[in-house]
Amino acid sequence: MQAVTIVERDLVWQEYPDPEPRAGELLVAVRAAGINAADLLQRKGFYPAPPGSPPDIPGLEFAGEVVGLGLGTSRFAVGDRVMAVTGGGGQAELALVPESNALPVPDDVAWEQAGAFPEAFSTAFDALFTQAGLSAGDRVLISGAAGGVGTAAVQLAHAAGAHVVASVRSEERHAQVADLGADEVVVPDQAIDHGPFDVSLELVGADGVATVLPVLATGARVVVIGVGAGAKLEVNLLALMQRRATIGGSMLRSRTVEEKAMVARAVEEHVLPLLDDGRITVPIVEEVPMAEAEAAYARFAAGGKFGKIVLVTG
Amino acid sequence: MQAVTIVERDLVWQEYPDPEPRAGELLVAVRAAGINAADLLQRKGFYPAPPGSPPDIPGLEFAGEVVGLGLGTSRFAVGDRVMAVTGGGGQAELALVPESNALPVPDDVAWEQAGAFPEAFSTAFDALFTQAGLSAGDRVLISGAAGGVGTAAVQLAHAAGAHVVASVRSEERHAQVADLGADEVVVPDQAIDHGPFDVSLELVGADGVATVLPVLATGARVVVIGVGAGAKLEVNLLALMQRRATIGGSMLRSRTVEEKAMVARAVEEHVLPLLDDGRITVPIVEEVPMAEAEAAYARFAAGGKFGKIVLVTG
């Protein structure tokens, strides 16, 4: 097979031996694979793939057709359309994933949507609902709402009946984020005027958490899943005590296969029906042939786009 | 009635009009009332009583006999032995409490034990189980384990099947804390060698939280309920993300009557049976007549004792 490969921080489209599915794994002919911030970090050497994943082929998510079945698989058959979050190796013609971590692709969902769906929506669903316990009527701040996880979170929180305040630095993106279901879209410094918040989802860094701490509601849950702009936070613990609030962090990639399977089942039960009936969408800005990954990564890194960049196979 | 009264930071035993129970309240002839750190803070002007509580009569907990019933009370009768956490005013001959916040005193429990039970055990139970979700087999660090809430927490965590690491500054107290059920008793600087911790209960301040952060288990819950030694904490949010950990704070006093009633019911269901059958005890170091509160507070403030100081009526 051909795969995107990290060679001394360059991306090369090169030949590999075809992988063989181990027990419990699906072998998938990849049709589309979204680019995520973690791919850029991995390329720079800051975010190594977990054990068991290819160390030099990036790609945290993909969609494609099942072409091989490991021993003990039972749910999917050759030819089925699947999509998944994976530890790495998704940006290749063939990829492996534990069957328990794969999701069926609804019939009406196109490959490029499916390939860009799993990482952002699994991350956003897990953070908002499993970690933060978001409920209807909660007031939620989503900080960094124009990115992949942010646009997923805005849609999921809106669909669940929360009041969504979206914090987006670029005012050019405000109307698009509002169209996804945000009740209010503000620049980061204004977020403090739109509380109190029951839930705060932080995708940018410590400054966003510091901004929200003074306007947390009683029993508030802050969940941090991105710290690209800084990870060091000073907290007044007495303020947490008075509000009975928690600050937590979360990431998907370091979890066990069993934990990822639990996330996949929750997404299948609670998010796929919304995708299937069109209540949520995967904003796609560009499809790029996988062999041109280098150029696609450069455009992703430049930022300023609204929607995911998806690598597609021939 | 006579009551302990804060008069320009002195404690005076002085006459008040007898209080009348409002709808839903019990009027209780107080037999015993524990002294807590919050009483000392209130006396210094740092921790005002919540609305509806007497502003100048301290006392967060008490036990006594019901002597009057407000409209709509239905559970307790005149003559019943009750104990309760209250917003304030417990250190008096008569005290009021919403019936929903009162607990029955088991027959074999002496007044001085009952008067020193509610605050510490309600606080410890709520923090360990309701806030932190402590389970059997969890490894828990209790920082500040020789105090009132600490000794309650050690016993409750041990009774629930957790592995209890108790952090106690004074080595003279280590054997006594071990006798309460701590598996390991360490000085604060050593706690880092006894992780990883699933739960950390912080009773001292920010330094204790900083110590435990590097040795948290995946999914760990840190709950801070005391910051007497400092409230400012610097957190590396990436470390929370990698461990999927949370830092939360909690206090009982600022909660609504309904929330306090939920705590009381949980304590009644899960803790009273342990008190009734002797699996937990309330360490009492001294009983002091309520009229001598000034001297009792001075001995409490001096520290170095193991167990509660309880004010008793004649």
C-alpha separations of A314 from A29, A80, A290, B237 in Å:
11, 19, 8, 41
Class of domain A2-117+253-312 (CATH, top level): alpha beta
Residue A84's DSSP bridge partners are: A62, A102
B88, B42 contact by CB (below 8 A): yes
CB contacts of B231 in chain A (<8 Å) are 236-238
The 3-state DSSP composition of chain B as helix, strand, coil percent (nearest 5) reads 35, 30, 35
Residue B266 has φ and ψ, to the nearest 5°, of: -65, -40
Torsion angles phi and psi, residue B140, rounded to 5: -120, 135
Whether A50 shows a pLDDT value over 90: the answer reads: no
Q: Smallest Cβ distance to B250: which of A209, A233, A241? A: A241
Dihedral over Cα of B283, B122, B182, B241: its sign: negative
pLDDT value at residue B48: 81
Among the partner-chain residues A234, A245, A249, the one whose CB lies closest to the CB of B241 is A249
- Is residue B180 a contact partner of residue B120, using CB atoms and an 8 Å limit? no
User: A303: pLDDT confidence band, cut at 50, 70 and 90?
Assistant: confident
Distance (Å) from the alpha carbon of B101 to chain A's nearest alpha carbon: 20
CB proximity A48 to B under 8 Å: no
Chain A residues close to B206, C-beta within 8 Å? 237
Nearest to B234 among A232, A247, A250 (CB): A232
A2-117+253-312 and A121-249 have identical folds: yes
- A245: closest chain B residue by CA: B248
A10 part of contact set with chain B, CB < 8 Å: no
Average pLDDT estimate for B63-75 = 98
Which residue from A225, A235, A251 is facing B235, i.e. has the nearest CB? A235
Share of chain A above pLDDT 90, in %: 90
Return d(Cα A122, Cα A308) in angstroms, integer.
Answer: 15
Looking at per-residue pLDDT, the higher value among A52 and A273 belongs to: A273
| CB spacing of A242 vs B234 below 8 angstroms | no
The pLDDT tens digits of the residues spanning B243-255 come to 999 999 999 988 9
Domain ranges of chain A: 2-117+253-312, 121-249
Hey, are the CB atoms on A240 and B254 less than 8 Å from each other?
no
User: Does residue A235 belong to the interface with chain B, where contact is any CB pair within 8 Å?
Assistant: yes
pLDDT in tens, A111-150: 999 999 999 999 999 999 999 999 999 999 999 999 999 9
Spell out which residues of chain A touch residue B237, defining contact as CB-CB under 8 Å. Answer: 202, 205-206, 209, 224, 227, 231-233, 247, 249
Task: Decide if B123 contacts B225 (C-beta within 8 A).
Answer: yes
Q: Is A133 on the interface with B (CB under 8 A)?
A: no
Separation CA B61–CA B116 (nearest Å): 7
pLDDT of residue A44: 87
| C-beta atoms of B242 and A254 within 8 A | yes
How much is the average pLDDT of B64-69? 98
Count of pairs with CB atoms under 8 A, one residue in A, one in B: 102
* Model confidence at B52: pLDDT above 90: no
Q: Is B234 on the interface with A (CB under 8 A)?
A: yes
A310 close contact with B: CB closer than 8 A: no
Mean pLDDT score, B135-144: 97
- Say if B212 is an interface residue toward chain A (CB within 8 Å): no
Neighbours of B7 (CB within 10 A): 9
> Could you tell me the two tokens for B268?
């009644």
Per-residue pLDDT, B8? 86
How big is the CA angle at B57 (ends B55 and B60), to the nearest 5 degrees? Answer: 95
Q: Are B185 and B178 in contact (CB under 8 A)?
A: yes
SS3 (DSSP) at B297: helix
d(CA A289, CA A296): 9
CATH number attached to the domain at A121-249: 3.90.180.10
Reported residue count of chain A is 314
Percent of chain B with pLDDT over 90: 90
Dihedral through CA B249, CA B254, CA B258, CA B262, nearest 10? 40
Q: What is the mean pLDDT of residues B186-204?
A: 97
Q: Which residue has the tokens 């819950």?
A: B221
Cβ–Cβ under 8 Å, residues A140 and A156:
no
**Cβ proximity of B203 and B144 under 8 Å:** yes
Higher-pLDDT residue of A45 and B176 is B176
With contact defined as beta carbons under 8 Å apart, do A167 and A142 qualify?
A: yes
**B93 to chain A, closest Cα gap in Å:** 30
Give the pLDDT score at A245.
97
What is the ipTM metric for this complex?
A: 0.93
